[in-house]
Amino acid sequence: MKDILLNENFESLSVDILKSYVNSLSFYNLEKEEVYFINKKLELDNRKSIQYLATRFMRCYENYNKELKRIENLYIFDKGFKNFKLIAGIDEVGRGPLAGPIVSAAVILDLNVNNKDMILGLNDSKKLTETKREYLSNIIKSKALAYSISFCSNSDIDERGIGFCNNEVFKKAVYSLDIKPNLVLSDGYTIKNFESPNIAVIRGDSKSASIAAASIIAKVYRDTLMKEQAKIYPHYDFDHNVGYGTRKHIEAIEKYGATSIHRVSFLNNIIGEKHL
């Protein structure tokens, strides 16, 4: 790893080579002493561009440590429920759209991991880019002790109401887990008619590692479904609005009418029955 920095002709190496080398480094694989060794070596170079590279390198390291601390706090929150060995986090996505299902995910993480094995980047799914969510969704699924995804269709929502379906997808996701949790942490809502221990966490996707993980895989799953629907119904811009009531979406409903995946009970209050 340090071979290039131990090169006797270090200062003869081009700026591009050194930049490429530094950019290839992962703090995940570096010990603290190695980071400071690399930084010192770069700082001693007389070239201003390399000294700037050293500054940027350390700034990135500081940001990495801040993120590590933030994620550590998410794990600490979940581990704070010491009387429970297996904790499932649960969250939903799609409560408010005009079209598509409401989706919930439940995730049981291994909370007894060292810092380097925590899942960096966990957060409220709405705060992440699409690319970051998709990347994290795969990581979560590979590292979770168990996860499950559940949904209620737009027809279910029209028939039973969004409140009932929100509660139902929470229950279905937990019951579908391969491992039975000792405690369920749900984002925002206590699960009704549910026999297992359950604690609602306000803004849980920003406090709990397990809930944040659930919010991400639920969001990615639902967004993928809506992108598939965009191929069937190209006029409604589902690949961008994922069913939410954007101007373009509403204009399409007014022009072409409702599709088979629209929530009729939601449309009555927005554009009137004449367009259904």
Q: Give the tens place of pLDDT for each residue, 197-233.
A: 999 999 999 999 999 999 999 999 999 999 999 999 9
Over 90: is that where the pLDDT of 276 sits? no
Which pLDDT score, from 0 to 100, does residue 21 have?
A: 87
Round to whole Å and give the CA distance between 210 and 233: 34
Round to whole Å and give the CA distance between 154 and 162: 9
Q: Which of 28-42, 161-175, 220-234 comes out lowest in average pLDDT?
A: 28-42
Q: pLDDT tens, 62-103?
A: 999 999 999 999 999 999 999 999 999 999 999 999 999 999
Which pLDDT score, from 0 to 100, does residue 268 have?
A: 79
Any binding-site annotation on 223?
Answer: no
pTM of the model: 0.89
Q: Which of 122-136, 218-232, 260-274 comes out lowest in average pLDDT?
A: 260-274
The sign of the CA dihedral 236, 241, 247, 253 is positive
Residue 100 one-letter amino acid: G
Q: Which of 2-6, 75-79, 149-153, 260-264 comes out lowest in average pLDDT?
A: 2-6
Any binding-site annotation on 178?
Answer: no
More confident residue, 131 or 271: 131
Instruction: Please state the CATH superfamily assignment of the domain spanning residues 87-256 in this structure.
Output: Ribonuclease H-like superfamily/Ribonuclease H (3.30.420.10)
What's the pLDDT band for 1 if we cut at 50, 70, 90?
very low
Any binding-site annotation on 187?
Answer: yes
DSSP result, 93-143 = E-SS-SBS-EEEEEEE------GGGS-TT---GGGS-HHHHHHHHHHHHHH
Which pLDDT score, from 0 to 100, does residue 239 have?
A: 95
Q: Which of 59-63, 218-222, 270-274 comes out lowest in average pLDDT?
A: 270-274
Cβ contact 93:257 at 8 Å: no
